[in-house]
Structure 1
Amino acid sequence: MSLTALPDPAPRITYGAVLGSPHVARLLGGTLTGRLPNAMAPVAIVLWALASGRGIAFGGLLSALYGLASGLSQPVKGRLMDRYGQRVVHLPAAVFNSGLLIALPVAGAHGGPVLATAIVVGAGLNEPALEAGMRALWPSVLPDARRRHAALALDAGTQGLLYIVGPLLVAALAAACTPSLALAATAALGLIGTLAVALAPPCRRWRPVPSARTDTGQRRRLTSRGLVWLFASLAGVGFTIGAMNVWAIAMAEHEGQGMLSGIIPAAFSTGSFLGGLLYGRRSWPGTTTGHLATAGAAFLAGWLPLLALLGPYAATIVVVVPGAFLTVVVACAFTTTDSLAPAHRTSEAYAWLILSIGAGQSAGTALAGRLAEHSVASAALPSAGAAFTLIVLLAARPHLIPTGPTSLRGRHRRPPPCRYKAR
């Protein structure tokens, strides 16, 4: 009787091991630093408008235009990265973005609202597409699929921290000094973070994959049915987030507790961070498409208790749950996008995904603002957005599975396999 040794189970992936991999800590830290202006600039612009006597309405308009310009320009910058590489897109964008933010307090104060609007729109158009670029870099930085899974979850989970740290930092700088200093700090952090990423070896070595034809002679399209359905579903996620932010403000006004407007989104972001940490620590059974649908269902279920018109403390606790599943939805969506998008247009596909969430968030914010005085409708909007996401994901499920020849993960500048000749 012979015994056959069973293979050793794969060791558990730790975040220490992931962050200790070459270039990972620098790229992740640089991307997070460079993306802080995403959360800082809209707040700093409003505070500058107030301090300069322009009024909150004009400041809100400028802030919205900054976000809109940044979102709409994402696919263009993604397409440019896929054609010419990341450095040639990141570096000029960071210089123009930082320069315009610094120029706003000087030129905007003396040039009138038209010049201020032009400066803000120009700054938004030139915000570096670091998130899409980072997602495209992960395969070449971490060829091991399990480490890449952990890194992607960590990347998605830490996004929420930007929207906690960023506004707090702007508020502290504006209160201690001036909003102009807050704008300068925003510009400096964006430039420093972008430089850290753009000058890192993986970014310098990264080259776009040349356009190729599949076995059927057809170029794989970015507008495939699966990607269109996926991007549509993520607009519902953005709608939910935008509606939640306004609902939190409405509850804060109703309860007479102004801090709730920041505490509730912070609790949601904390849940997102913790969910990302948990999801990335292990490999989960099933397919990515299955994970996406399951996480979408859990995301919806987490919002349903709000329909009971909970009090502020209970509501703050409840939003942690859908926050935890937000990271899973986003991480699985990026993985699905990678499997469905043409290899030579991956960065652009990621940028469209980001734009879909941003567009949905703008719609959710606008509608929730109209319904803020109706407590039931305001509390129901996050659930409505999550329900839309789940319905679209379930309808799209057959189209989210790659059916043709697909490129392997790590297709950007992936080193060829080593070959050893037996002697």
Structure 2
Amino acid sequence: MPLTPARSSRPRMRDVLARPHVAAMLAGTLVGRLPTAMAPIALLLAVRADGGPVLLGGALAACYGLAAAIGQPLLGRLVDRTLLAPVAAASAAVAGAAFTALALIGCADHPMAAAALAVLAGAATPPLEAGLRALWPRLVPDPRAQHAAYTLDSVSQETVFVTGPLLATGLCQLLSPAAALAACALAGASGTLAVALRDPARWAPNRRRAGHWAGPLRSRGLLLLLASMTLLGVNLGAFNVLGVALADRHASGWLTGLLPAALAVGSLIGGLAYARSPWSMPLARQLLCAAGGYAILFAPLAFTTLPTALVALSACPGLYLAPLLANAFILSDRLAPPGTATEAAAWVIAVIGVGQALGTALASRLAEHGPTAVASVPVLAAALAAAVLLARTDLLASTDTPREKSA
């Protein structure tokens, strides 16, 4: 897989961080995103703690992810038409109330109420991730620095997926699943408040819009990208269940959080290396190489159930995950019609969420057959994500030249 560094000097991530508002906005969104990494595991463990089956826990986690996937594009379109601050604040209040209620009821004893609350918490997920990614062209106007900005975003996001699973697992092990669900409410509210109080969250969006009901979905290249990102979501959702299946087999609850944390650590390392030495190839080819490398390095996970080996192997595909996500969001911005940047980023986030819900549900159904059966789902999904891009790379090739976009 080519990893040749570009010869031209580019602004680095620390240069991006030094720009006004960037560090504060990024920190706030990272805290506000923690529930997206914590909630699926907290719901799974809450059901298990009450004596419920993995299938019910997987269903609740899938409800949360699917609802978030539906809500994000709608909230993203609302941000494009109004402001980020009020939309994020209102949605965080609703999500926080739902998480608080989940912490107070027994998820296994009241499955229908828990499902309704999981849906509400997911649908009201504040659009911080999409909002920040749509703001990057205005926070960092230099087109050369925007690549570093999106890489910084993807790399820093991995701290969420390192911290989130470990925090949820730790709170469940040391306190209770209710404490983990309450922490989701607290993290979402505090992170959203930090973002909403910053000036960029109140910047008026560019009023130039496509005006079509389909918004950014009119772009065939974006649809191809979304198909691949859906399969990536299936991979990530099934991978969380693999941790639960291994924890049950080996009677070690910490494995639930260690596997996704190992993947995120690998992604953090890979993202830092990618930012330091950007690949010298067109953007569409970078995306394909990242997806291919991710799929190839994921395959060995299907051939072992030893905990130590799986934790080590889980870090390997992560080396390509941050570059994969960074290029996906850059491409989504370039493929989207003017005036739909937030919604386009929200659709990428949404389809990953849909895929996670599907992957969680499918892997949960296979959990009774053991970890090997569960592992087949993320391995196959990673391969298909790369295959979709390989089939129609021509739809992405026109985005290799940067163009001015609205925020």
> Please, what TM-score do these two structures have when normalized by structure 2?
0.85
Say if 2:229 is the partner of 1:231.
no
C-alpha contact 2:41 2:168 (8 A) present in aligned 1: yes
Find the aligned partners of 1:91 and 1:380 in 2 and give their Cα distance: 40
* TM-aligned CA deviation for residue 309 of structure 1: 3.2
Find the aligned partners of 2:72 and 2:304 in 1 and give their Cα distance: 37
* TM-aligned CA deviation for residue 232 of structure 1: 0.6
* TM-aligned CA deviation for residue 186 of structure 1: 2.3
Amino acid at match of 1:72: I
Please give the secondary structure, in 2, of the residue aligned with 1:158: helix
* TM-aligned CA deviation for residue 55 of structure 1: 4.3
5+ residue gaps, structure 1, are 1-8, 413-423
- Correspondence for 2:395: 399
Amino acid at match of 2:325: V
Amino acid at match of 2:181: L
The aligned runs of 1:198-217 (5 Å cut-off) are: 198-212=196-210
- Correspondence for 1:194: 192
C-alpha contact 1:292 1:332 (8 A) present in aligned 2: yes
C-alpha contact 1:252 1:259 (8 A) present in aligned 2: yes
Q: 1:129-168 deviations in whole A, cap 9, x for unaligned?
A: 1111111011100112333222211211232322332243
The aligned runs of 1:269-418 (5 Å cut-off) are: 269-309=264-304, 311-372=306-367, 373=369, 377-402=373-398, 408-412=403-407
* TM-aligned CA deviation for residue 287 of structure 1: 1.0
Residue number among 17, 20, 24 corresponding to 1:19 in the alignment? 17
C-alpha contact 2:58 2:360 (8 A) present in aligned 1: no
C-alpha contact 1:12 1:281 (8 A) present in aligned 2: no
Q: Which moved more, 1:125-134 or 1:308-317?
A: 308-317
C-alpha contact 2:262 2:312 (8 A) present in aligned 1: yes
Please give the secondary structure, in 2, of the residue aligned with 1:344: coil
Identical-residue share of aligned pairs (%)? 41
* TM-aligned CA deviation for residue 350 of structure 1: 1.2
Q: 1:63-104 deviations in whole A, cap 9, x for unaligned?
A: 432222122111111111112221231121112222333344
- Correspondence for 1:128: 126
Q: 1:171-191 deviations in whole A, cap 9, x for unaligned?
A: 444555555444333222211
Amino acid at match of 2:237: G
5+ residue gaps, structure 2, are 1-6
Please give the secondary structure, in 1, of the residue aligned with 2:205: coil
- Correspondence for 2:236: 241
Please give the secondary structure, in 2, of the residue aligned with 1:211: coil
* Structure 1 segments of 4+ aligned residues over 6 angstroms from their partners: none
Q: 1:13-60 deviations in whole A, cap 9, x for unaligned?
A: 343322221111101100000111112334445566677x68466655
Q: Which moved more, 1:72-81 or 1:201-210?
A: 201-210
Equivalent residue pairs, number: 397
- Correspondence for 1:29: 27
C-alpha contact 2:209 2:338 (8 A) present in aligned 1: yes
Question: Does the C-alpha gap of structure 1 residues 275 and 356 become closer, same or farther in structure 2, counting only changes over 3 Å?
Answer: same
Find the aligned partners of 1:342 and 1:323 in 2 and give their Cα distance: 31
- Correspondence for 1:418: none
